[in-house]
Amino acid sequence: MIRLENLTLIFGLGTPDENTALENVSLSVKAQDYITIIGSNGAGKSSLFNAIAGTFAPHSGHIYLDRDREGTEHDITREPEYKRARYIGRIFQNPLLGTAGRMTLEDNMVICRQKGYRGLKISLNRKLREEFRAQLAELGMGLENRLTDNVELFSGGQRQALTLLMTVMSRPSLLLLDEHTAALDPWNAERVMELTMRFTKDYKLTVMMITHNMSQALEIGSRLLMMDRGEIILDLNAEEKSRLTTAGLVERFKDIRSRELAHDEMLLG
């Protein structure tokens, strides 16, 4: 599905502020993997997503992706971000980033359906609106009755659930979840997570999810990665992580790095 080969990402190369965000990272992700990614602040989690999504070009290494789901790898290392967005979906922590607030709900969904703004070529008609209502009803938030409302009127939880639905509707080859429930209240965070798991199964998605919640990382998905200082230091399959507790995971970090895992948010998660 996606393969990273000796990926290195350096900021401020050759300057006093030089910082290696990723260092020789290699990773193979299979189709329909659900990978949770944990690590302290500055571990390289978002840098990993930025490299995959094309936000920043790596200093060295390669990224290969089966973007057509036909088993053929394409080297996308130098492909611009806007092109990758056609087959790599990304949802951020901020629920305001995934939708156009000053446009109506139905116009947002039209843009999603045609994969970008092209003058709203798809005509809104009764049949299409009924289709949108049926899809929105799955969210359980009453948005199916608000097609003509501007999205900026919705709550953060509603907007994040809508972003998730629209991203899934575009059938991405790879879905990147960048702490997508962290900014939500507990009820909405749980609801968006439930929808994430259901859509992942129903649409047979390949998912990589950053989380600071170690318990969640152990409970969810088929695989767990731990990052530290730009490196993947632990890669656990479903069976291996099912035998671990949060305390056990902290001990594994200490054994590997010979220091304490000092990030309260991860430990309390």
Q: Could you report the per-residue pLDDT of 199-239, keeping only the tens digit for each?
A: 999 999 999 999 989 999 999 999 999 999 999 999 999 99
Strand, coil or helix: 223 = strand
DSSP class of 107: H
Q: Closest Cα to residue 6, out of 239, 262, 231, 246?
A: 231
pLDDT at residue 268 in the model: 46
Distance CA 201, CA 73 (A): 24
pLDDT for the residue numbered 112: 83
- The pTM for the full model equals 0.92
Percent of the chain with pLDDT over 70: 94
User: How far apart are the C-alpha atoms of 88 and 62, rounded to whole Å?
Assistant: 16
